[in-house]
Structure 1
């Protein structure tokens, strides 16, 4: 019987999707692989309106990219016949990859945002079944100058404030753009974020921001993990300040924030862009509880010899108390913490390259397990 304390963990990989449920965030029952041999770079779990909808960005080498959704925790999947995300005629573009799926606030049920490659932002008003292109960003005069990061041209972070008027998007490469009118118009907001690899290291735009996340309890405060650099803004991205002091490295991809508490965020440092491994080959998560003033190394339960990276969306938090922290590596291992990162346990291993991890507290958790993968670990 499902209870409010049922937890859902979704793991997107290079070769499919795995789903897991747990009553205690220690023992997990798995199903999958779903979409075997398709890349799953993005996942959104929508728990609004008393249901659980899982949305996944699927990229097939044969059929191309789309968004599929399930309302029964993976037992069945639905995809619009003409595709969920498709560039309108006249844009002379085709979707390459869906990098981000972001359900909006409880007060806006049915609204789901998506970020894609080529760099573009999309909005759905029917729960992620059909998306419309955000023309304000697509037609922006800077777009021709945005470049592709090492993994591709990604609109990978979408942050919407409670009112819905204030929207931030981060892209690789291009930096952070902000809209104050719900997405109609956009302006770059990167002052203070370094682009050391460019002739002008402090340009208006062009930064390779790897991930941004909002502080849930302080309006106008966001955090950014950059291509070398960790930053915070307290003025709605008008300016950014470094908060990297105390970290073993300022490179990485992950930026997570607490769903309720001010000043709490998690990063997973990597040595450098030229050596994308944990510093000294020792995997650790770092947490701040004072908005980046200080950082605490968290590695209990993690391997002390690890040379695989953690990608930008291969990490997530849930909304439980205490908050759960989850992440997966490019080596196919997935770790879970039920105590905000103080201790971790490996919950899956030998999966394909982990691209995306999402977690949620759900009610309707009658997930069907497959005996062959009931314990990937």
Structure 2
């Protein structure tokens, strides 16, 4: 993930660590303050392992970045990586015992997205829960009402509209099947206050296994949206998700397919 400065590139890894390059990827440095964070010993693993899958450099402030991992939560630095603070207030960890479900850290975040023109706004898809923050993770509000399920992996903002966000709800055994067996993308145009079901052309009875970065927007097309699935298929929509068509089939079975056009 590129940062606000030319030549600065960030990378998250498994096991949970974040690296940064200041020379376009020629050399890399471990974000040591995060690696040595006192919370790290208590970070757990999701079913997919422990990994920093989300790295969001601030689009205008080179000293600021937001990262997220499964299982550990959302963290932010504002001092160029010298320190990192948890940013999880209001995010429920449903897998913890009753009375302990709103910890300072330890949430199983599946993905966080932000819009470059409104960097203080974040959207998060969790292992149980869809959230919005309007203060860069200082507090979170549930926006799952109206969705058929609050479990999922990708969350995608529109490249030009900061109030437009897409999710792909999953349920069933291990959270791998769409509710009712209907593969559908859900879109909100009012920052999660309401949702519309989209997906004409996506199959019913579809084993999806959509993970993390498997849905993304095309920054160069106002209405381009792509969806990759673990069964080796890639689907594309040219009308903001209303209708879909199969564009790639029979790729080798992989953990995740990310499709994008540049």
Fold-level match, TM-score > 0.5? Answer: yes
- Structure 2 gaps of 5+ residues are none
Q: What residue number does 2:260 align with? A: 359
- Please identify runs of 4+ aligned residues in structure 1 that moved more than 3 A: 272-275
How far did 1:134 drift?
0.6
Q: What residue number does 1:151 align with? A: 48
Q: What residue number does 1:165 align with? A: 63
How far did 1:220 drift?
1.0
Query: What is the aligned counterpart of 1:245 among 142, 145, 155?
Result: 145
Q: What residue number does 2:2 align with? A: 103
Answer whether contact 1:249 1:272 (CA < 8 A) is retained: no
- Structure 1 gaps of 5+ residues are 1-101, 362-377
How far did 1:330 drift?
1.3
Work out whether 1:129 is the aligned partner of 2:26: yes
Which SS does the other structure have where 1:204 is aligned? coil
Mapped partners of 2:179, 2:172: distance in 1: 9
Mapped partners of 2:173, 2:51: distance in 1: 17
How far did 1:163 drift?
1.4
Mapped partners of 1:273, 1:232: distance in 2: 27
Query: What is the aligned counterpart of 1:278 among 178, 186, 195?
Result: 178
Answer whether contact 1:270 1:276 (CA < 8 A) is retained: yes
Answer whether contact 1:228 1:272 (CA < 8 A) is retained: no
What is the 5 A alignment of 1:283-362? 283-354=183-254, 355-361=256-262
Mapped partners of 2:71, 2:224: distance in 1: 30
Residues paired across the two proteins, number: 258
What is the 5 A alignment of 1:207-286? 207-271=107-171, 274-286=174-186
Answer whether contact 2:234 2:259 (CA < 8 A) is retained: no
Which SS does the other structure have where 1:359 is aligned? coil
Larger Rg: 1
How far did 1:273 drift?
6.6
Mapped partners of 1:207, 1:172: distance in 2: 7
Which SS does the other structure have where 1:221 is aligned? strand
Mapped partners of 2:250, 2:14: distance in 1: 28
Mapped partners of 2:201, 2:107: distance in 1: 35
Specify which structure has the bigger relative contact order, considering alpha-carbon pairs within 8 angstroms and separated by 6 or more residues: 1
Which SS does the other structure have where 1:253 is aligned? strand
How far did 1:212 drift?
0.2
Which SS does the other structure have where 1:144 is aligned? helix
Q: What residue number does 2:17 align with? A: 120
Which SS does the other structure have where 1:342 is aligned? coil
How far did 1:275 drift?
4.1
Q: Which moved more, 1:352-361 or 1:152-161?
A: 352-361
How far did 1:196 drift?
1.8
How far did 1:218 drift?
2.2
Answer whether contact 1:327 1:335 (CA < 8 A) is retained: yes
